[in-house]
Amino acid sequence: MKRQVLKMVVAGLWMAAGLACAQDPVRIGTLSDYPPFEYKDASGQLKGMEIELGNAICKHMQAKCEYVTMDFDALIPALKAKKIDAVLAQMSITDERKKVVDFSDLFTLAPVQYVAKVGAGISEDPATLRGKTVGVYSGSNHETYLKKRLPKAKSGIATKSYPNQDAIWLDLEAGRLNTTLTDTTVAYEWLVKTGKAKGFDFAGKPLNDVEMFGEGTGIAVRKGDALKARLNAAIKKVMADGSFAAENKKVFPFSIAPASK
């Protein structure tokens, strides 16, 4: 009888521990200034395509998720320091980043392209950028590309880094920048709402440099974290149940979903 009671107590403790574990929040590091993926509305609420998809992913994982906003270049350090558990912030999967974090399966496609004033003569050809200034998001692979592939000493191209994309758009409009290099998805949002009416558009073709820009974006986790498997299972579900397609359609007239394998 005592042994049976002991077994019941132990089983109860295991169940309680499991429940507590299931209720532990998953802290997701993200941005608040990268529309249409992440932004704050007039009331200060965090919104955006990735936030909605993040909520769907957490629902499939049966996890309580908390969003922690910070600057982009603080996300990986915060992840490594265990201040957050995952990064959902249009982070491109690159070999350089894979040295320090693990990534989920491919989540979105994110081509990279210059945006400039129509008629500025700027294209993907670096020769058209000589003597000009390019605005980039600090800590982004756009910044890394310009500094590694086109250092000013050799290319004659000046790179100016900003803490957020909104500040880049403002300086581009004001003529303090000649162009910006950014994801076409983010540029599309600005061009449709603001840029095209003021004479801006995509300049040249999207850049093809997988080493620098990766094949697309994923959700970053700490090296060896079992959370990766849970995220991958949930990503498959949001792709299959129509959640991704529905959120995509709200924002873009084209799909940014990776090709199904």
The enclosing domain of 237 has a CATH number of: 3.40.190.10
Q: Where are the alpha helices (DSSP H) in 24-178?
A: 49-61, 75-80, 95-98, 141-149, 152-155, 165-174
DSSP state of 123: -
Confidence of residue 10 (pLDDT cuts 50, 70, 90): very low
Assess whether 105 and 226 both reside in one domain: yes
Q: What is the pTM of this model?
A: 0.83
Assess whether 121 and 208 both reside in one domain: yes
Using the predicted structure, report yes or no on whether residue 11 has a pLDDT greater than 60: no
Assess whether 144 and 100 both reside in one domain: no
Q: Is residue 145 part of a domain?
A: yes
Q: Is residue 15 part of a domain?
A: no
| Number of domains, the chain | 2
Assess whether 123 and 208 both reside in one domain: yes
Domain that holds residue 79: 25-109+215-251
Assess whether 125 and 39 both reside in one domain: no
Q: Is residue 259 part of a domain?
A: no
Assess whether 171 and 103 both reside in one domain: no
Assess whether 204 and 117 both reside in one domain: yes
Q: Where are the alpha helices (DSSP H) in 99-196?
A: 141-149, 152-155, 165-174, 184-190
Assess whether 116 and 235 both reside in one domain: no
Q: What is the pLDDT of residues 175-209, one digit of tens each?
A: 999 999 999 999 999 999 999 999 999 999 999 99
pLDDT score at 24 = 78
Assess whether 160 and 199 both reside in one domain: yes
Using the predicted structure, report yes or no on whether residue 16 has a pLDDT greater than 80: no
Q: Which residues contact 40 (CB under 8 A, 6 or more apart)?
A: 32, 46, 47
Confidence of residue 259 (pLDDT cuts 50, 70, 90): confident
Of residues 169, 19, 138, the one with CA closest to residue 71:
138
Assess whether 81 and 133 both reside in one domain: no
Q: What is the dihedral of CA 60, 63, 64, 67, to 10 degrees?
A: -70
Assess whether 227 and 171 both reside in one domain: no
Q: Is residue 11 part of a domain?
A: no
Confidence of residue 261 (pLDDT cuts 50, 70, 90): low
